[in-house]
Structure 1
Amino acid sequence: MTKNLKITVLTPEFYSYGALLIAGILKEQGYSVKLQKGFGKVIDDDIVFISLQSTIHLIKYQQEISSINAFKIVGGPVTLTPELILEHLQVDLVVVGEGEDTVYNILKFLKTNPSYQISDFKDIPGVAFKADNQTVITEKSNPCCLKRPLPFIPSEIARENIRGANVYLETHRGCPGNCGFCGVPCLFGRKVRSRPLEDILTEVKYMLSKGAQRIAISGGTGSLYGSKKFKSVDEESFVELLREISKLTGPRNLIIPDIRADLISDEIMEAVKKYSRGWVFFGIESGSDRVLRHMKKGISVDQVHEAVEMARKHGVKIGGSFIVAYPGEEEEDYQDTIDLADELMLDDYFVSIAEPIPGTQLGDEISKLSMEDNLLFQDSLKYKRHGLSIAEERALDFMMDSYIFRSFPTAMSQKLMKDLENEVKSQGEHIKSIIPLLKNH
């Protein structure tokens, strides 16, 4: 490869923050960089960085990725198990873990070694590749410095809608939680590393200048920004973060997607109310303490009640996420979850079937679970004519009930019920397609 490398950063379905960041880093280094969403345009560049967000992408976009004629590098949350990527996608390299420094090292190598062989990448930390039909994973790369160039913001960013936001903004990395279903601690570690506030505000101004309007702060658990002690919050830093971003965006255009129920305070909830859209999203997951312990969620049902009560006291709207059909969930556990959801009367609910992310505890557990013991492969008697499994039955019933539970109940129409049925079928098919990958890996 010549020194004048042409590069495309590709994100399949939406402009992920990771893709924007890598494109910005490459641009700052002086490379000719294009940012592309989807596979509609033919790529004729030398290198393609592909940011994959979901394991389903390994199946969904196999053909499109194989047809790209370039040096292909995959990064993103799916890289917790690089062997799986190299087994199912025709790509050259996988960036394992944090990618900023690794990407720079890869390009430096390609520029100075035009006659390379793939095995020559063995000395670059944080990559994986196939050589002689064997997967090679190099030594782990060091955590990246969070001072970096501005991300590459596309001109059409205002048309993006990612859970209500045009774009997500990374404020910190790492989470002290140890949830068995979550990839954040696996990818970024359990120690919290926060970005300088000045850099964050510069990035917000830049995003706004490029047309973004609604910005969501991201980092796993928003209130961990500035945290210096394990599993604790720095209220002053988090409140200052919200206040200063809000001065730029306006409160209605600042979204705080996720906060742990055990990492809040009156000061934090008051800041959420005053400086953002006034919503908080708790990962509640289950109404069974037994299941919560199995998930390693690190919270109890009592703490959920306390968190909801605190948020409500400050006039904050509350959304909650719940997971059904987690391995080991009995009918009694599921009923406890339904009862809790009914008691809480939240403003919004998000219900999902337990999805195994490769490289997480849940991924390992489901890979070892027999199909006969997996609720996703056990037929539902209640919805037999709909072709649903017990896992899908639980998700559908929960979703329907959630429209009655919420603070402003919604009548169940035929169309809404059909939409919910399609949603659980889509979730079920998605997860069913992943499980054979895990089992055969």
Structure 2
Amino acid sequence: MKITVITPEFYSYGALLITGILKEQGYTVKLQKGFGKVVDADIVFISLQSTIHLMKYQQEISSINAFKIVGGPVTLTPELILECLPVDLVVVGEGENTVYNILKFLETHPSYQISDFKDIPGVAFKVNDQIVSTAPDESPHKRPLPFIPDDIAHENIRGANIYLETHRGCPGNCGFCGVPSLFGRNVRSRPLDEILNEVKYMLSKGAQRIAISGGTGSLYGSKKFKTVDEESFVELLHEISKLTGPKNLIIPDVRVDLVSDEILEAIKQYSRGWVFFGIESGSDRVLRHMKKGITVDQVYEAVEMARNHGVKIGGSFIVAYPGEEEEDYQDTVDLADELMLNDYFVSIAEPIPGTPLGEEVSQLSLEDNLLFQESSKYKRYGFSIAEERALDLMVDSYIFRTFPTALSQKLLKDLQKEVKSQGEHIKSVIHLLKNQYKS
């Protein structure tokens, strides 16, 4: 039985982990990045990270002649996958045990019918145009080392060669985020010695810059709802840093309400010295609608605290969230201006299927959606109001930051291209959601 695991655009941690699990079980497995090579396999696992992949890679996935299984963050709505892609199974929820159970079933049932998968937890499939979905597998996961490819040093995922999962789950309830829906709101942290063994293995395979993931990094070790275990998190950074060196350890995301002096000092000493806050909006009204669980005052406090520790600060901002008025947007611009961060990331609100935002947007008329309302300011570019707000905030962010950057014609064109790409991507997702909602 030949097996290929495909990760479309970068080596996602999930694809590496599934490959490692199957190799440990003695299967012949090939890991492939992208669809550029002919797939010669009996079974193909496809790890999809974004809803847009459901449309972007339809032709490539259709051309694969094998038993096809899809997993990854997009599986919050398996019905959508089975409607968009010609695949046999979707892994629902966390897939470590599920993929192994699927293979054992295929080995022992060579003359199976697709309906026979009804007894395997954590799968979805189609029978006579009807979607069947079984309850997720909640038994303890088998966790061998992930498979690390020889070219891992050439990867660049937000500045890192590879991401390292330290925990799962987030007590936050952000309406736009898929983490609580996929992994739950209870934090489950991995043992420190297991994490360190994995880091050593990654380094031995050529990885240099490692980023820790799991949603909000500072939740590692947390045992109570929406609290941090400072001692566990500091120890985590200290011990990993001894292996990687501080300059090669990246802390991608932290909530503004889950930081402290101890956490920020550890980030300063044991990592590259950056913290990335999900700020999202300068309007408390919009933050409440997002179910973000923070206030603008908490943003100011966290930024000031980080600055006092000499930590560089990046911030993400979301524009055109449903219900965002011009006044709310201006509050966001004013906040971004006052904060003077080291870096900014601006995005149009993207409705991930299976999230509260996805549900809200699926029911929102296109006439009421800012992404489909024409911008009078950028009419000649064919921009919507959502794209206008995104572009203006992106442009302004280069002036707002700690060290302002001159806006060249090339930079402006790059930002226009980025905004247009975001808009087209999200419009495609919205149409997909609306078609699914109608059905």
Shorter-chain TM-score bucket reads over 0.9
Alignment of 1:149-188 (within 5 A): 149-188=144-183
Deviation at 1:143, TM superposition (A): 5.6
Question: Match of 1:167, as an amino acid?
Answer: I
1:346 aligned onto 2:344: no
Task: Indicate which of 100, 104, 109 corresponds to 2:96.
Answer: 100
Give the Cα–Cα distance (whole angstroms) in 1 for the partners of residues 307 and 136 of structure 2.
Answer: 44
Question: Match of 2:144, as an amino acid?
Answer: P
1:327 aligned onto 2:325: no
Tell me the equivalent position of 2:115: 119
Task: Indicate which of 269, 274, 277 corresponds to 2:269.
Answer: 274
Displaced runs of 4+ in structure 1, greater than 6 A?
none
1:423 aligned onto 2:428: no
Please list the CA deviations of residues 167-201 of structure 1 after superposition, one character each: whole Å capped at 9, or x if unmatched.
00000000000000000000000000000000000
SS in 2 for 1:212: coil
Question: Match of 1:324, as an amino acid?
Answer: V
Deviation at 1:280, TM superposition (A): 0.2
Tell me the equivalent position of 1:371: 366
Give the Cα–Cα distance (whole angstroms) in 1 for the partners of residues 394 and 113 of structure 2.
Answer: 52
Deviation at 1:141, TM superposition (A): 1.8
Question: Match of 2:50, as an amino acid?
Answer: S
1:86 aligned onto 2:82: yes
Tell me the equivalent position of 1:220: 215
Give the Cα–Cα distance (whole angstroms) in 2 for the partners of residues 315 and 220 of structure 1.
Answer: 23
Answer yes or no: is the 8 Å Cα contact 1:98–1:143 preserved in 2: no
1:58 aligned onto 2:49: no
Tell me the equivalent position of 2:124: 128
Give the Cα–Cα distance (whole angstroms) in 2 for the partners of residues 330 and 382 of structure 1.
Answer: 16
SS in 1 for 2:313: strand
1:254 aligned onto 2:249: yes
Give the Cα–Cα distance (whole angstroms) in 2 for the partners of residues 407 and 41 of structure 1.
Answer: 45
SS in 1 for 2:4: strand
Tell me the equivalent position of 1:387: 382
Give the Cα–Cα distance (whole angstroms) in 2 for the partners of residues 13 and 43 of structure 1.
Answer: 16
SS in 2 for 1:434: helix
Give the Cα–Cα distance (whole angstroms) in 1 for the partners of residues 139 and 318 of structure 2.
Answer: 31
Answer yes or no: is the 8 Å Cα contact 1:180–1:361 preserved in 2: yes
Deviation at 1:6, TM superposition (A): 1.1
Deviation at 1:12, TM superposition (A): 0.5
SS in 2 for 1:40: coil
Deviation at 1:133, TM superposition (A): 1.4
SS in 2 for 1:244: helix
Answer yes or no: is the 8 Å Cα contact 1:100–1:144 preserved in 2: no
Tell me the equivalent position of 2:309: 314
Tell me the equivalent position of 1:410: 405
Tell me the equivalent position of 1:43: 39
Question: Match of 1:344, as an amino acid?
Answer: L
SS in 2 for 1:50: strand
Give the Cα–Cα distance (whole angstroms) in 1 for the partners of residues 236 and 397 of structure 2.
Answer: 33
Deviation at 1:144, TM superposition (A): 4.1
Give the Cα–Cα distance (whole angstroms) in 1 for the partners of residues 371 and 42 of structure 2.
Answer: 43
Give the Cα–Cα distance (whole angstroms) in 1 for the partners of residues 431 and 374 of structure 2.
Answer: 18
Please list the CA deviations of residues 52-102 of structure 1 after superposition, one character each: whole Å capped at 9, or x if unmatched.
000000000000001000000000000000000000100000000000011
Give the Cα–Cα distance (whole angstroms) in 2 for the partners of residues 397 and 272 of structure 1.
Answer: 32
Answer yes or no: is the 8 Å Cα contact 1:47–1:71 preserved in 2: yes
Tell me the equivalent position of 1:288: 283
Give the Cα–Cα distance (whole angstroms) in 2 for the partners of residues 170 and 89 of structure 1.
Answer: 28
Please list the CA deviations of residues 244-285 of structure 1 after superposition, one character each: whole Å capped at 9, or x if unmatched.
000000000000000000001000000000000000000000
Question: Match of 2:113, as an amino acid?
Answer: Q
SS in 2 for 1:206: helix
Give the Cα–Cα distance (whole angstroms) in 1 for the partners of residues 76 and 285 of structure 2.
Answer: 27
Give the Cα–Cα distance (whole angstroms) in 2 for the partners of residues 150 and 140 of structure 1.
Answer: 23
Give the Cα–Cα distance (whole angstroms) in 1 for the partners of residues 257 and 265 of structure 2.
Answer: 16
SS in 2 for 1:346: coil
SS in 2 for 1:322: strand
Deviation at 1:140, TM superposition (A): 2.5
Question: Match of 2:322, as an amino acid?
Answer: P
Give the Cα–Cα distance (whole angstroms) in 2 for the partners of residues 132 and 300 of structure 1.
Answer: 49
Please list the CA deviations of residues 365-415 of structure 1 after superposition, one character each: whole Å capped at 9, or x if unmatched.
000000000000001000000110000000000000000000000011111
Answer yes or no: is the 8 Å Cα contact 1:98–1:144 preserved in 2: no
Give the Cα–Cα distance (whole angstroms) in 1 for the partners of residues 117 and 380 of structure 2.
Answer: 54
SS in 2 for 1:153: coil
Give the Cα–Cα distance (whole angstroms) in 1 for the partners of residues 34 and 67 of structure 2.
Answer: 18
Please list the CA deviations of residues 102-160 of structure 1 after superposition, one character each: whole Å capped at 9, or x if unmatched.
11110111111111010000000110000111110012221643x61000101100000
CA RMSD of aligned residues (A): 0.6
Deviation at 1:161, TM superposition (A): 0.3
Give the Cα–Cα distance (whole angstroms) in 2 for the partners of residues 416 and 88 of structure 1.
Answer: 36
Q: Which structure 2 residue ranges, 5 or more long, are not aligned?
A: none
Question: Match of 1:24, as an amino acid?
Answer: G
SS in 2 for 1:91: coil
Percent of residue pairs bearing the same amino acid type: 85
SS in 2 for 1:395: helix
Alignment of 1:139-154 (within 5 A): 139-142=135-138, 144-145=140-141, 148-154=143-149
Give the Cα–Cα distance (whole angstroms) in 1 for the partners of residues 36 and 140 of structure 2.
Answer: 33
Deviation at 1:44, TM superposition (A): 1.3
Answer yes or no: is the 8 Å Cα contact 1:242–1:272 preserved in 2: yes
Answer yes or no: is the 8 Å Cα contact 2:278–2:315 preserved in 1: yes
Answer yes or no: is the 8 Å Cα contact 2:94–2:136 preserved in 1: no
Question: Match of 1:423, as an amino acid?
Answer: E
Deviation at 1:436, TM superposition (A): 1.0
